[in-house]
Structure 1
Amino acid sequence: MRTNNLLYFFVLTLLPFLVLAQSTIDGKVIDGEFNDVLPFANVILYSQSEDGSLVNLEGSTTDFDGNFSFSDLPAGVYTIDISFVGYSTVKISDIELKVGDVAPISVTLQPASSELEEVVVTTTQKRNNEASVLSIQKNAAVVLDGLSLQAIRRAGDGDIAQAVRRVPGVSIQEGKYVYVRGLGDRYSKTLLNGMEIPGLDPDRNTLQLDVFPTNLIDNIQVLKSGNASYDADFSGGIVDLSLRDFSSTPLNTFTVGIGYNPDMHFNSDYVYDEGSKTDIFGFDNGYREFPLPRGIDIPLPERGDANSLVVTNYTESVDKNLNVSNKNSSPNLTLGFTSSNSYDLKNERKVGYMASLNYRSNISYFDDYLESRYEKSLPAFANTVYNTGRLGKDERFISFLGGIAYGSKKGKQKVNFLFIQNGESTAIQGDFLNNGENNYDGVGQIKSYVQRQIISIPFSSKNYFL
């Protein structure tokens, strides 16, 4: 018991001396330009050996009042390095501390004599993610909805027609024509990078959207209200397709799609027009060209009239096969190839390209085709046309969408090329009843072929005046 009391006595006696054995460096940093404290300055403490070499011990920063402190330091020689961005660094050496010393230091940092070089940061706004589309909607002066490439990829849509139907208030008819707010195709229009492009079908106002792949666009914007920036030839809405200039990394994709309908495909009763050998590419090679010149005077085939003999020659020049044919219908087919890349040039210039080639074949077959027409005649309606039978339709599309973009510090120029070729062959076989001007009641066949083509080359330029 006596031994423990003696131990406690020695501990209590030596404790003040142990505490006082630790030294401290307290300091304050002053801003020499504004004669005020300098917060958040960097302070590094080094221990200095006898040969003058320095060993990094610890680092700190000044507080809001410009103060810093290093405590619990053993006796020795120290060096302090104080720095701040835009100011000259100050180094204080040979700070000698003895046991229990408190060394007060006051340092004034002066602005560096050499000014920092100007740093210019330039960037471009992303337009293919959801945040950018929401920003466009927020700042738009019109009622606008949109889809970003990020949202389209998450949904897995292969073409724009599939993607745009996800926009509120938008529906797709026949898998390709857009209806906005329930209004028909004639009340809407299509823009490509803000520039209007005509529709492929002259009876429609918008371009079919299933020919555009989704991996070449940044976003889709659907405007649902009028604005002075746009022509007043729509009342439903505008679908604006914002194409990407090019891909920053090489992009090459090849897609294959097959569509099957058990009522339409692999059906041996399918009726079709044999047509020309180039029908599979969406155009006729001249096989259906009318052999007689326009405006020719064809005489009536009357007996005793020598001129009537030319009617026989005219008749023989027309295709003798006017019947429809039968074959096993094939499924729908879609092929697509997309490529895009960019290249860095000198003086911070850049050039890039994007290209997409697509082929589409759509086969439709109806074995219960019905066409009925009524006309108003007193005292009631009269059925003037009543046709029933089988109908086969073969649609072929070839589309190419390409573009070249060039960018530099002074601006950006880009040109796009859009080419769409469409051929639509229809064959009908059945019973026909026509009570019009030329009455007919019996078996009949109809063959028709419609060929359409569109070429559009929009060009845009954006220049910066620095």
Structure 2
Amino acid sequence: MKRNLTLLLLLGSAALFAQTNIKLEGTLFDQKSNQPISGKNFTIEGLNIQAKTDEKGHYEVSVPDDVYQIELKVDGYQIITKSLTDTDAVNLYLQPEDFKDGKIDLSTAVVTATKSKSSEANLLNLQKKSIKIVESIGSAELERKGVSDAASAVAKMAGVTKQEGSGDVFVRGLGDRYNYTSLNGLPLPSENPSNKNIKLELFPTDIIEYISLSKTFNVRMMADFGGANIDIASKLYEGKGFFEIGTGLNLNSNAISEKDFKLQDGPNWFGFQNTKIPANATNGYFFKNSFNPQTKSAVAGGFNVKGGKSYKFDNGSKFGFFASASFDNSAQSIENGIARTVDAEGKNLKGFNDYTKNSYSTNTTGMVNLYYDFNANNKLRANSIFINNTTQSLQEYKGFIRDLAEDDNGFIRRATYEKNQVFVNQLLGDHKLNSRSEFHWGLSYNAVNQDMPDRLQNTMRLNKQSGQYTLASQDASLSNRYFQKLNENEISANLEYNFTLGGDLKDYKAKISVGYQARHKERDFEANQFNLKLTQSGIVVDPNNLDAIFNQSNFGYDKLYTIETFDMDGKGGYRSQTYTGQKDIQVGFVEIEYNFTDRLTALLGVRAEYLKQSIDWYTALSKGKNSFDQFELLPSLALRYKLTDKQNLRFATSKTYTLPQFKETAMFVYEDVTETFRGNPMLYPSTNYNADIKWEWFPKNGEVVSFGGFGKYIQDPINTTTIASSSNDISYVNSGDWGYAVGAELEVRKAIYDNKTSNPEQITVGLNAAYMYSNQELNNDKVYEETLFNGQRINTNFTNKEDAFTGASDLITNADISYSKKWEQGGSLMATVAYNYFSDRIYALGTETRGNQVDKGFSTLDFILRSRLNKNIGINFSAKNLLNPTIDRVQENSNGDAITLSYKKGLNFNLSVNYQF
């Protein structure tokens, strides 16, 4: 009786590079007799390798070093699947189904080879072979570190931090405007009108294969680049069918200890609500949602389903799919909150000494990924991702309010609901035309809908003697309802043709790539604020029953209040504040990869880019339009020298630019409780010059030690700053002629204990650290001369003539230690302790002789435990923010720092269970 042996090793994207092999060894047993299967031959198809078990059933084979798993199939025996990501010593036990003669013939056994994309070993292998300087983090490492979304994943990489409270990612101290985010190489839109990049927290790790972080530019990337290109590779499933369901519980220590966890009226548990501006909004009180805060549950959780399967047909074609759907929510509350301002001498601490915030967020995500390989030379892939993210917050500020100009008995409550919907659709193709040429293409259509329906704000004053609150009436806007909507559509295309000289696609002297890219984006933005103007002062109110005042019976000039908004026609009609933006980019690029020797390789590229960006607006500030267009030739160079087979020395340099965003150039005012932002139509792009050098050593499979240095020089850097005026609005300016940053980065990943047995056991450690120094010119005269618009200019009064970049920490460190163990029957255990620290960084540049506002550095500590009871049931637990540090922002002044913002987030706990069929 003949039996078949099939070894499946999943294939990654390194097919163009020479493969490095490792030794895979073990013993093949008949589980019923517990005897080794000796002296049997088998063949590894496609690798031209033959092997044989010895008299003790032992075998040794040389396989690709990015092995993912092996699957053993023998007629009459149960299928055995073994993961090889943690061990290269594999003993296989054949469990009979209905087998009687006990004899096995492996002489016709066949092994088919493919490779993994997301294992740590494979991603490091790709990093080692790539000519470009790139770092990646895959789904295996994300699971080990208990990472739940793309933002947290990127923050685990060297030189990267997240800004507390915003979700913005800073790479080497450079924030949102300097980074660029893509999905499978195609651009992603932003869901936030204030940002260039999409919030990475929207992407759960369930839909991520791996994330690549490129801190150096190459000609395939969008040139609006200064910090890094963050590319998310969506999940592609190749393997036998599976279906998994899971559920979990999320708790925040502050939120569950809150006796009365309150949020605004309107959204349901899933975060959805359908609220629109009422008809005749200024002619009566027809708003749907209540002003009165509602008590909600602080217990949160989620559920998810995912599955996939691939098929191989007789004609050699393959089809596969992966689909997932998930819902997660979380409740948060901050304690010991302070939010205030300080004068130039550090005196007169004005503001809110009692600041609280309850928040609730949801994320609903669905993804479908399909692929069809006609044959080994022609492949298609389609992705559709839908994300619905909602956030609710109820903020209360008690203390001094400048508009009241009385005492510190003011009280502001703001309730905000925001819904962001992102729909991403991609179609990609890869075609090998012959042994020396190939063609790649990609098309995408992205749509974004951002909605902030019915943000509620009220301002009151407490009479401490009577204990009564009265509504503030000094300005019509002190009680208001605000509606905001953004719609954005974007079409992108990538085309690329590669051909080789002096060899084929796997082994060549030179490879030449030519390509074309196009991007067209349109954005429409609309905002309306309805001010509830009081007709009399001293109206006594219950803060938790504001509906007793703001209702239809009290509406009218002869009653308690009226409703006003922007550009009213006196007949009840009004016009919204709007802006419309459009961006078009046309690109051609050429890149040459040349192997001078077997050790020295160069990658030289030139990107020719024509850009046009325009915007027109109609707002409370003005009506107008602005546009700019530019043509850029952007060169890049990358060099790799192989010191040994395990060591590389790299160098890269490039020229790029940084664009102002739509909202930054529109004359639109956005009012936060403590800050007011407005645009600058005269803002223009800055130019960036980048250089990196890096040494890498890969001691063993899955290990790396690297050290590198970098430098960036920026002409006409863009900064956010306070305008020198009575209103102290914040705007965006080209603040000086120059800025630069230099730094060094270190990364170590090492297995300190590795027991490669049938029950593999491993302890690994990881460390990355980045140190950076930055400096930039701050020139008031330059700002004044360059910002003339409609007869007005922007005045600034920087405290310092030179200063560091905003958002730039001098020191950033990440460290983790993990223990893992697996058992023969499919059980596993993995425990990780992860630590992060970043030092002080500037939040806002100092003006009017005041020092900078600085976010003080702090540390976080997380514990993650993941287990599988067997091949079907998994139980996971995490405890995050265990140190629960006080998060402080201070105003630096000559006589010492003064705290302007302070709070604690609390501890976050998660318990989840999943079952795989």
Give the TM-score of the pair, scaled to structure 2.
0.32
Hey, what does 1:350 align to over in structure 2? 318
Tell me the SS of whatever aligns to 2:292. Answer: coil
Whole-angstrom CA distance in 2 between matches of 1:402 and 1:365: 35
Aligned-pair distance for 1:461? 0.7
Whole-angstrom CA distance in 1 between matches of 2:388 and 2:184: 21
Hey, what does 1:462 align to over in structure 2? 430
Stretch of structure 1 that moved more, 238-247 or 434-443: 434-443
Hey, what does 1:284 align to over in structure 2? 273
Compared CA separation, residues 319 and 131, structure 1 to 2 (3 A): closer
Hey, what does 2:188 align to over in structure 1? 197
Hey, what does 2:380 align to over in structure 1? 413
Aligned-pair distance for 1:223? 0.7
Aligned-pair distance for 1:385? 5.2
Hey, what does 1:308 align to over in structure 2? none
Structure 1 residue corresponding to 2:361, chosen from 366, 375, 395: 395
Matched, 1:139 2:129: yes
Whole-angstrom CA distance in 1 between matches of 2:215 and 2:240: 35
Contact 2:241 2:310 in 1 (8 A): yes
Task: Output aligned runs, 1:1-400, within 5 Å.
Answer: 126-155=116-145, 157-174=147-164, 177-214=168-205, 216-276=207-267, 279-286=268-275, 289-293=276-280, 311=283, 314-315=284-285, 317-319=286-288, 321-327=290-296, 329-373=297-341, 386=352, 388-400=354-366
Whole-angstrom CA distance in 2 between matches of 1:422 and 1:372: 30
Aligned-pair distance for 1:174? 4.9
Compared CA separation, residues 380 and 389, structure 1 to 2 (3 A): closer
| Residue identity opposite 1:403 in structure 2 | N
Contact 1:324 1:428 in 2 (8 A): no
> Which one has the bigger strand percentage?
2
Matched, 1:448 2:410: no
Aligned-pair distance for 1:248? 1.2
> Which one has the bigger helix percentage?
1
| Residue identity opposite 1:200 in structure 2 | E
Compared CA separation, residues 291 and 386, structure 1 to 2 (3 A): same
Aligned-pair distance for 1:234? 2.1
Contact 2:246 2:304 in 1 (8 A): yes
Contact 2:339 2:352 in 1 (8 A): yes
Whole-angstrom CA distance in 1 between matches of 2:199 and 2:156: 16
Aligned-pair distance for 1:354? 0.8
Gapped regions of structure 2 (runs ≥ 5):
1-110, 435-917
Whole-angstrom CA distance in 1 between matches of 2:412 and 2:121: 59
Contact 1:388 1:432 in 2 (8 A): yes
Cα distance per residue 1:317-368 (max 9 Å; x no partner): 23473122334x4234232222111123342111111112121212122354
Contact 1:407 1:413 in 2 (8 A): yes
Contact 2:221 2:229 in 1 (8 A): no
Whole-angstrom CA distance in 2 between matches of 1:326 and 1:434: 27
| Residue identity opposite 2:366 in structure 1 | F
Whole-angstrom CA distance in 2 between matches of 1:439 and 1:184: 39
Compared CA separation, residues 435 and 156, structure 1 to 2 (3 A): closer
Aligned-pair distance for 1:454? 0.9
Whole-angstrom CA distance in 2 between matches of 1:146 and 1:193: 13
Contact 1:337 1:358 in 2 (8 A): yes
Tell me the SS of whatever aligns to 1:258. Answer: strand
Contact 2:216 2:228 in 1 (8 A): yes
Compared CA separation, residues 160 and 249, structure 1 to 2 (3 A): farther
Tell me the SS of whatever aligns to 2:269. Answer: helix
Alignment: residue pair count: 321
| Residue identity opposite 1:322 in structure 2 | F
| Residue identity opposite 1:421 in structure 2 | N
Aligned-pair distance for 1:236? 1.3
Aligned-pair distance for 1:191? 1.9
Aligned-pair distance for 1:450? 1.5
| Residue identity opposite 1:457 in structure 2 | N
Hey, what does 1:87 align to over in structure 2? none
Contact 1:245 1:414 in 2 (8 A): no
| Residue identity opposite 2:383 in structure 1 | N
Contact 2:168 2:199 in 1 (8 A): yes
Contact 1:177 1:207 in 2 (8 A): no
Compared CA separation, residues 428 and 129, structure 1 to 2 (3 A): closer
Aligned-pair distance for 1:397? 1.3
| Residue identity opposite 1:285 in structure 2 | N
Tell me the SS of whatever aligns to 1:132. Answer: helix
Q: CA RMSD in A?
A: 3.4
Cα distance per residue 1:65-123 (max 9 Å; x no partner): xxxxxxxxxxxxxxxxxxxxxxxxxxxxxxxxxxxxxxxxxxxxxxxxxxxxxxxx996
Aligned-pair distance for 1:373? 4.5
| Residue identity opposite 1:281 in structure 2 | F
Aligned-pair distance for 1:240? 1.7
Compared CA separation, residues 167 and 369, structure 1 to 2 (3 A): closer
Task: Output aligned runs, 1:418-433, within 5 Å.
Answer: 418-431=385-398, 433=400
| Residue identity opposite 1:416 in structure 2 | N
Whole-angstrom CA distance in 2 between matches of 1:170 and 1:344: 41
Aligned-pair distance for 1:411? 0.8
Tell me the SS of whatever aligns to 1:417. Answer: strand
Compared CA separation, residues 444 and 457, structure 1 to 2 (3 A): same
Contact 1:324 1:429 in 2 (8 A): no
Whole-angstrom CA distance in 2 between matches of 1:412 and 1:159: 29
Whole-angstrom CA distance in 2 between matches of 1:447 and 1:388: 17
Contact 1:271 1:391 in 2 (8 A): no
Contact 1:417 1:455 in 2 (8 A): yes
Tell me the SS of whatever aligns to 2:173. Answer: coil
Aligned-pair distance for 1:194? 1.5
Hey, what does 1:101 align to over in structure 2? none
Cα distance per residue 1:214-254 (max 9 Å; x no partner): 45544322111112221121211122222342231113222
Gapped regions of structure 1 (runs ≥ 5):
1-120, 299-310
Stretch of structure 1 that moved more, 198-207 or 186-195: 198-207
Whole-angstrom CA distance in 2 between matches of 1:386 and 1:152: 39
